[in-house]
Structure 1
Amino acid sequence: MFETLQPAAPDGILMLMSLYRDDPRTDKLDLGVGVYKDVDGKTPVMRAVREAERRLHKTQASKSYLGLAGDVVFNELMIGLVFGEKAERPRLRAAQTPGGTGALRLLADLIAASRPDTTVWVPDPTWPNHMPILRAAGLTARTYPYFDSTTGSVRFDAMIEALKGAAPGDVVLLHGCCHNPTGADLSAAQWETVAALLAERGLTPFVDIAYQGFGDGLEKDAAGLRILAAHVPELLAAASCSKNFSVYRDRAGAALLLGRNAAEADTAYGQLLGLARGIWSMPPDHAAACVRIVLEDDDLRADWKAELEAVRLRMLSLREGFAEALRRQSNSDRFDFIARQRGMFSRLGLTGEQVSRLRAKHGVYIVGDSRFNVAGLPGDRLDALATKVVSVL
């Protein structure tokens, strides 16, 4: 059987990790891996999550299955976190998933079961895993223009023009906030325009909201999704707890859906759980239980929000500092867009050859498309890093 297989295409980020690990230089810098890092270069366990784990260890009396939907209280809390407390709850459903990636795959399978001939429109560029997930679900995907690498901003007019060509019933994948890999997000006014277009043309939004709280705050980061929910009859959303609760390896997320009415939401939800049964059957418990404990307890929730806000503000400070350092070293405003963008990632706008030289000459590791992890920036050595970047231009 295995003799028919071809070698898998190498994963660029995993290859970068391997190259970094084998690099003997002591001043090397990893800006490629997509996890949050604190000032010491570590990905910490958040205080509130640590306390939730302690309580869970003390009180959990069983390791029995949760059921297809997972932790139902966690699901309700995630609906509130993503859609807001004023959301139209009778039309909303949620299922716990193994991370945001699990939510994306489960919802992609639901699209395929509902409308197998539909086209899913995906921003160009987007998170590299989006396309493989959609293909694995048997869906057809097309791209729409999104990012202008020259200005570091959204190609909004081109985006709207492309989506006008989508057929009624098609699905449009959107990043809820902190666009990966570009950091370029839609404004509130642009979200309103997109929502009106989707509603007018009968298109269904599929929102990947993996970084809520990392951009402009928990509420503002969900504003675009909530604008969509107020305009369209149906919506799909994949939420991740990996980043804002820093539970990466424990895999907690939620697949959320908005139906035209409660009856249709129930039908879609039943199909969603049936699909989950055929993939992972029952979701893992630990991280979702910890998130539930944090969100249920007023003190823990307040402490989590405070620590998350500190993370957000640190990344904003690094963005501003790096943009200023690049302005000083390049004597131009070429990189000012970095300060305007949001989230954990941006693109420097370097060529592949320049990215290779930055790695070979200076030990600075970024992804081939020049995406870098803002959280990995060395706050006390931004000018030195900027000098290295400018040297390869």
Structure 2
Amino acid sequence: MLENLTAQPEDAILAMMDAFRADPRADKIDLGVGIYRDAAGTTPVMAAVKQAEQALLDQQATKAYTSLGGDPAFTRAIADLVLADSIDPALVTGVGTVGGTGAVRQGLDLARLANKGATVHIPDPSWPNHRAIVQAVGLGCKTYRYFDAETGGLDHDGLIADLAAISAGDIVLLHGCCHNPTGADPDPAQWDQIIDTIKASGATVMIDLAYLGFGDGLDQDAQATRKIVQQIPEVIIAVSCSKNFGLYRDRAGAVLVTAPTAEAAQTIYGNLATLNRLAYSFPADHGAKVTEMILNDATLRGTWATELSDMRVRINTLRAELATALRDATGSDRFAFLGSQRGMFSRLGATPEQLRILREDHGIYIIGDGRMNIAGLSSKDIPRLAQAIATVCA
């Protein structure tokens, strides 16, 4: 039977990780894989996480199953972090998932159960796994205009025009903040117009919130999501704890859903619990419990919020430094957009041939669509990186 399988396309990011590891050059720069690195080039365990893990080790009395939805205290804590007091808690439900990717998968599977004929509209460009998961669950997939490569900003007019043409019953997938792969986010006025347009269409909203706290701050980054749930009655929110808690390998995430009534929320929860049962039964608890402990302890939460703020400031500082270095190297403001974008990623706008030269001649690894992980930089690498980009992409 297994002889009938065909080879799957290679994952570009994973392939680049392998190529980077095999590269013997000491001055190589990895801007591919989407993880945060500190000035020493490591991805540290956050101090708040270590403290919570030690407390958990001391206090935990059992490793018995929680529930199909995971620990309710975790999903409540995540809902409070994301939504605060923007909506009646009785209208919010959710379950723990296997990371943010699991949250996207379970959220889209829920949409499929509700409407097998739905089409999911994703931004162009978007995280490649969005399209792959939409297709894997059997839903239709279309793109809407989002990014203006000439300016490095939002194609707002194109975005609004495309959203206005979406049908009721379809799903619009939005990046809640820190758009991956471009780093270009709508401003508050643009968000208001996006929300009004979707509301008029009758579509359901799905929000991927993988980088909360990496843009302008926790509350600022959640503001668009909070506005959306106040104005649109059905919203699916995929939340990841990988980046902002540094729990990459512990796979802590949650899918939250807002409903028009408390009764509908209960029905939604039952469907999500069933989807968990079919996929992996009980979601992993360690990372989820650590997250919940941090969010529900004032001291740990303060420590975590400070650490996250330091990470955000460092990323934004790297952005400004790179934009300045590129201005000096090119004698133009061609790359000024890097300084105003937010989150871990930006899109360089280089051709495949230019990216090949950067990789082979300069040891600079950027994935094929030009996405750069700004959070993978160190300040010492910026002058060489800027000079290489100026030389190859001029």
TM-score between the two structures when normalised by the length of structure 1: 0.99
* Distance (whole Å) between structure 1 residues aligned to residue 253 and residue 277 of structure 2: 16
**Which residue of the partner structure matches residue 84 of structure 2?**
84
Cα displacement (A) at 1:242? 0.4
Matched, 1:136 2:116: no
* Distance (whole Å) between structure 2 residues aligned to residue 20 and residue 232 of structure 1: 44
Q: Secondary structure at the match of 1:338?
A: helix
Q: Secondary structure at the match of 1:121?
A: strand
Most deviating of 167-176 and 77-86: 77-86
Matched, 1:212 2:212: yes
Residue pairs, 1:308-387, within 5 angstroms:
308-387=308-387
* Distance (whole Å) between structure 1 residues aligned to residue 85 and residue 10 of structure 2: 44
* Distance (whole Å) between structure 2 residues aligned to residue 229 and residue 183 of structure 1: 23
**Which residue of the partner structure matches residue 49 of structure 1?**
49
Cα displacement (A) at 1:86? 4.1
Cα displacement (A) at 1:182? 0.4
Post-superposition Cα deviations, 1:52-97, rounded to whole Å, max 9, x if no partner, equal 0001111111111011110111110100111113432111012111
Cα displacement (A) at 1:265? 1.2
Kindly provide the amino acid, as one letter, of the partner of residue 106 in structure 1. Q
**Which residue of the partner structure matches residue 28 of structure 1?**
28
Kindly provide the amino acid, as one letter, of the partner of residue 186 in structure 2. L
Structure 2 unpaired stretches of 5+: none
Kindly provide the amino acid, as one letter, of the partner of residue 89 in structure 2. R
**Which residue of the partner structure matches residue 127 of structure 1?**
127
* Distance (whole Å) between structure 2 residues aligned to residue 303 and residue 272 of structure 1: 33
* Distance (whole Å) between structure 2 residues aligned to residue 334 and residue 356 of structure 1: 21
Q: 8 Å contact 2:29–2:381 — kept in the other structure? A: no
* Distance (whole Å) between structure 1 residues aligned to residue 367 and residue 381 of structure 2: 20
Q: Percent identity?
A: 47
Kindly provide the amino acid, as one letter, of the partner of residue 284 in structure 2. P
Q: Secondary structure at the match of 2:315?
A: helix
* Distance (whole Å) between structure 2 residues aligned to residue 293 and residue 321 of structure 1: 36
**Which residue of the partner structure matches residue 274 of structure 1?**
274
Q: 8 Å contact 2:35–2:243 — kept in the other structure? A: yes
Q: 8 Å contact 2:94–2:272 — kept in the other structure? A: no
Q: Secondary structure at the match of 2:353?
A: helix
Kindly provide the amino acid, as one letter, of the partner of residue 115 in structure 1. N
Matched, 1:67 2:67: yes
Q: Secondary structure at the match of 1:278?
A: helix
Q: 8 Å contact 1:124–1:145 — kept in the other structure? A: yes
User: How many residues end up aligned between the 2 structures?
Assistant: 393
Kindly provide the amino acid, as one letter, of the partner of residue 126 in structure 1. S
* Distance (whole Å) between structure 2 residues aligned to residue 193 and residue 230 of structure 1: 14
Runs (4+) off by over 3 Å: none
TM-score between the two structures when normalised by the length of structure 2: 0.98
Q: Secondary structure at the match of 2:216?
A: coil
Q: 8 Å contact 2:69–2:272 — kept in the other structure? A: no
* Distance (whole Å) between structure 1 residues aligned to residue 7 and residue 198 of structure 2: 40
* Distance (whole Å) between structure 2 residues aligned to residue 373 and residue 90 of structure 1: 38
Cα displacement (A) at 1:369? 1.1
Q: Secondary structure at the match of 1:256?
A: strand
Q: Secondary structure at the match of 2:191?
A: helix
* Distance (whole Å) between structure 2 residues aligned to residue 328 and residue 96 of structure 1: 47
Residue pairs, 1:231-246, within 5 angstroms:
231-246=231-246
* Distance (whole Å) between structure 2 residues aligned to residue 265 and residue 293 of structure 1: 25
Q: 8 Å contact 1:80–1:87 — kept in the other structure? A: no
Most deviating of 160-169 and 356-365: 160-169
